Amino acid sequence: MYITFMKNPTDLTIQTWVRLVRAQQTALSSVEAALKKAGHPPLVWYDVLLELERAGADGLRPFELESALLLRQYGVSRLVERIEKAGYLAREACEDDARGQRLILTPAGRDCRREMWSTYAPAIEASVGSKLTPAQTKTLSDLLGKLMA
């Protein structure tokens, strides 16, 4: 039996971790507040609508949508129900699976996503773009990419 000893993080690594988590929370809170102030649905709705728009006319199966979401949502079925009730997506039967269904973006959903973007884009700029130079933004993007690898 092998015992693996993991090295404890340095104080700098811990500080970086805390700042990373807090930066994400701050940015998301800022975006959510801007969307709410403008009378838009929550940010996760944007994520769903965008993925359905990217999927085109074929839409996505619910499990495909869940794996594509930028923001983790554990109650995807309830979320989909709320978005469907608002008229932003529709369900269609799968041709290759009698029990399955596909989620399709409605024209109202496409309009909602575009309206949300008019608030979301400036909120991203205010939370990130306006606080960093283009070079710093590239460096941060590259570093975050390494953390995701």
66 falls within a domain: yes
Please check whether residue 44 is in contact with residue 69, taking contact to mean a CB–CB distance below 8 angstroms.
yes
**How far apart are alpha carbons 72 and 44 in whole angstroms?**
8
88 falls within a domain: yes
129 falls within a domain: no
Find residue 103's DSSP bridge partners: 60, 91
pLDDT at position 15: 97
Domain of residue 38 covers 13-122
pLDDT at position 71: 57
Please check whether residue 110 is in contact with residue 53, taking contact to mean a CB–CB distance below 8 angstroms.
yes
135 falls within a domain: no
15-24 CB contacts, 8 Å cutoff, 24+ apart: 20/147
pLDDT at position 2: 66
pLDDT at position 66: 87
Amino acid in position 131: K
- For residue 131, pLDDT over 60 is answered with yes
Q: How many domains are contained in the chain?
A: 1
134 falls within a domain: no
- Using CB atoms within 10 Å of the CB of residue 89, give its burial: 0 to 12 exposed, 13 to 18 middle, 19+ buried: buried
55 falls within a domain: yes
pTM: 0.85
- Using CB atoms within 10 Å of the CB of residue 141, give its burial: 0 to 12 exposed, 13 to 18 middle, 19+ buried: exposed
pLDDT in tens, 55-114: 999 999 988 998 888 656 667 888 999 999 999 999 998 877 767 899 999 999 999 999
CATH number at residue 95: 1.10.10.10
DSSP state of 35: H
128 falls within a domain: no
DSSP string, 81-142: HHHHHTTSEEEEE-SS-TT-EEEEE-HHHHHHHHHHHHHHHHHHHHHTGGGS-HHHHHHHHH
1 falls within a domain: no
